[in-house]
Amino acid sequence: MPNKLFVVNLSNFKKRKEMPSIFIVDDDESVCRALKTLLMTYDFDVKTFNSAQSFFDTVAHDEPGCLLLDIHMPGVDGWETQKRILTSGSKRAVIFISAEKLDNAADRALNVGAVGFLQKPVNAQTLVDLINVSSKN
Amino acid sequence: MKKPLLKKISRISQEEQIRLLTKDLNIIKKQLKRGVNREKIAKEKFRGEVSQGVDREQQGADREKLGAGREKIAEELSRLQSDEIVLKDGQLREGVDREKLAEEQIHIRTKAMESTFDGIFIIDALKPDFRIIYANPSFYALTGFTKKEVIGKNYFLLYGNTENSLLVKEIKQTLLQGKIFQGEMLHHKKNGEKFWSLLRITLVRDKDGTITHYVGNKTDMTLMKQRNLEIEVQREELLHVTRVGKLAEFVSSLAHEISQPLTAILSYAQAAQRMYAGREPQLQEILQYIINDDQRAAEVIRRLRYLLKKTKPSFEQLDINVLINDTITLMMPHITAKNKVIKFEPSANLPSVQGDRIQLQQVLLNLISNSLEAMELNDDARDLLIKTSFKDADTLLVEVKDSGCGVPEENMKKLFGHFFTNKPDGLGMGLSISRSIVEAHGGLLEAKNNTDRGATFYFTLPIILKNDNEQC
């Protein structure tokens, strides 16, 4: 079965010097906390949000940092969040993370300018590699 | 059938004839008697005259006279006799005419019985062995038995095997109790082929009320049954697709719900592994087991998802009215069984829509089933209305309106969510699947409570604008 769990599109990488922070937007609190714990062991500075709205309310569009974005969320979903980020003129690197198995999610994620798409549960090394690649660019 | 009627008719005319003839005979006898009397008188007269000494000539003349008298009597007699013959002839002719008329009627009735599609047979009820005395051609055609195998034979022998012995017993009992039998059953033809038939046996009584004959009527139900069966199969198929769809949706939701904690577990374990990197080898091993099993669970879910992958909809041009009609046909036995009434008000000249036939039928089936269930507890609530119309120039509207219990306001928002149900055995998938199907068709599925009673579920579908080609 063609199962694209890990997709990277280099052309979507935004040029920036460093990636000081990681933002996580996921409506599942446990997922947020676990990913934060994991990424902190890699010395990332991690902030979590349970909704896109609270992310937009707290983080300015030009504040540097990579975004781990869940797709299925009540209210503003992942796709809508990415659309808003793009229209705000932000150059934020976005990695979609979803528990949903969507046939064309990986392609769609790249098409809307994301850095990648990861299927939950996410393997730590895969995630960190993707974050590192995107912050180097 | 033919013989007894004839007998009756001829019996009447015979009696009549005998009565008339006896009457005539009496008249003749009287006349003859009168003739004999005359002769007697003449003889006495003659004797008296002789004794009184009348001359011979006179005697001779008298004798001649007497002879003439005798001749006259004989003449009269033969005239009377020929009259009688004429009279008899007339009566006979009249009888023949009547018989002819009766025969004509019998002929028509027999023809009618012979031309009907139903298998008709007559059993002699006066004999104990249910002997068949008549069967029409359709009966032979229907059962595959020949006249030889039927006439004079016990009707129930045609049932042959013991498979139907209960049925045979029931029919016999019903008839012996002087009741009409009717029932639908699977009959066997002579060649063993089975066919569905509606059997009705009525009773024929004579003047005294004694049952003289049983008249059976066998109607072939095969076609009707087949049609019903086809409908049932189609409905089952659709329900199966719906069930599979529900299962897929269920698994997908379940997978999503389980993936979240699996994500958390994996991340926590991997975080702990890193925190204790190079230390605590036993803890490291345990953490690795947690990670392995987490990934195993994730793999199971991936496979499940793959197995129950939703089939891609196949879009075609559809006439929504035809589709609704088809779905109603499928649901009709169900609706009738629940003692509900469905009404369809199609808007004329609706253009076709682009859609997946099976999926849209699933939506309709789901909405109709829900409506029926909403009306289930209330016998007054019987009316289910399906309506199609233009919402605007580019959109069709399909409404399913019931007169059931309606939807409590607080449930309105949750109605289309996964796992929401107020049925004890419901999965809570029907409406959420229906909504995602309608949305995949570019429409919207919504619900509202009616102002009087019940609820209306309605969905829109975009109209494809026709080019030059006719809609299909």
Q: Summarize pLDDT for A53-67 with one digit per residue, the tens.
A: 999 999 998 888 999
Per-residue exposure over B420-431, b if at least 16 CB sit within 10 Å of its own CB, e if not: bbeeeeebbbbb
What pLDDT sits at residue A132? 87
Contacts of A30 in chain B (CB under 8 A): 260-261, 264
Neighbouring-strand partners of residue A98: A119
Q: Is A38–B274 a contact, with Cβ atoms under 8 angstroms apart?
A: yes
The chain A residues in contact with chain B (CB within 8 A) are: 1, 3, 28, 30-31, 33-35, 37-38, 40-42, 72, 97, 99-101, 120-124
Separation in Å, CA of A118 to nearest CA in chain B? 11
| Closest B-chain CA to A118 | B263
More confident of the two residues A19 and B362: B362
CA–CA dist B413, B355 (Å, integer): 27
Backbone angles phi, psi at A45, to 5 degrees: -95, 115
Beta-sheet strands, E only, within B38-173: 119-124, 131-135
**Among the partner residues B263, B267, B271, nearest to A99 by beta-carbon distance:** B263
Q: Is A72–B256 a contact, with Cβ atoms under 8 angstroms apart?
A: yes
| Closest B-chain CA to A103 | B309
What pLDDT sits at residue A94? 93
The ipTM (two decimal places) reads 0.77
pTM for the model stands at: 0.48
Separation in Å, CA of A28 to nearest CA in chain B? 7
Residues A98, A78: contact at Cβ < 8 Å?
Answer: yes
Per-residue exposure over B252-273, b if at least 16 CB sit within 10 Å of its own CB, e if not: bbebbebbbbbbbbbbbbbbbb
CA–CA dist B109, B224 (Å, integer): 28
Q: Is B294–A121 a contact, with Cβ atoms under 8 angstroms apart?
A: yes
**Among the partner residues A30, A40, A123, nearest to B260 by beta-carbon distance:** A30
Mutate to test the interface with B, among A38, A71, A98 (most CBs of B within 10 A): A38
Separation in Å, CA of A16 to nearest CA in chain B? 27
Q: How many A-B residue pairs are in contact by the CB < 8 A criterion? A: 73
Contacts of A33 in chain B (CB under 8 A): 264
What pLDDT sits at residue B226? 81
What pLDDT sits at residue B415? 82
Q: Is B263–A38 a contact, with Cβ atoms under 8 angstroms apart?
A: no
Separation in Å, CA of A66 to nearest CA in chain B? 18
| Closest A-chain CA to B297 | A121
What pLDDT sits at residue A17? 42
Q: Give the CATH fold of the A6-136 domain.
A: Rossmann fold (3.40.50)
Tell me the pLDDT tens digit for each residue of A75-131.
Answer: 888 989 999 999 988 889 999 998 876 667 788 888 888 888 998 888 888 999 999
What pLDDT sits at residue B263? 93
Q: What is the pLDDT along chain B (472 residues), one digit of tens a residue?
A: 444 444 454 455 666 666 766 776 677 677 767 766 766 776 666 566 555 655 566 656 666 777 777 788 778 778 777 776 776 777 777 777 888 888 888 888 888 888 998 999 999 999 888 899 999 999 999 888 999 989 998 888 887 765 567 888 888 889 989 999 998 888 888 888 888 889 999 999 999 989 999 999 999 888 888 888 888 787 777 777 777 777 777 787 888 889 999 999 999 999 999 999 888 899 999 999 999 999 889 888 888 877 776 666 678 889 999 999 988 888 888 888 888 899 999 998 888 888 888 889 889 988 998 898 888 877 788 889 999 999 888 899 999 999 988 888 888 887 887 667 777 666 677 888 888 888 888 889 999 999 988 999 999 999 875 444 443 3
What pLDDT sits at residue B472? 37
One-letter amino acid of B64: E
CA–CA dist B60, B219 (Å, integer): 91
Beta-sheet strands, E only, within B116-253: 119-124, 131-135, 181-188, 194-205, 211-220
Separation in Å, CA of A89 to nearest CA in chain B? 30
**Among the partner residues A3, A35, A99, nearest to B267 by beta-carbon distance:** A35
| Closest A-chain CA to B272 | A38
The chain B residues in contact with chain A (CB within 8 A) are: 252, 255-256, 259-268, 270-271, 274-275, 294-295, 298, 302, 305-306
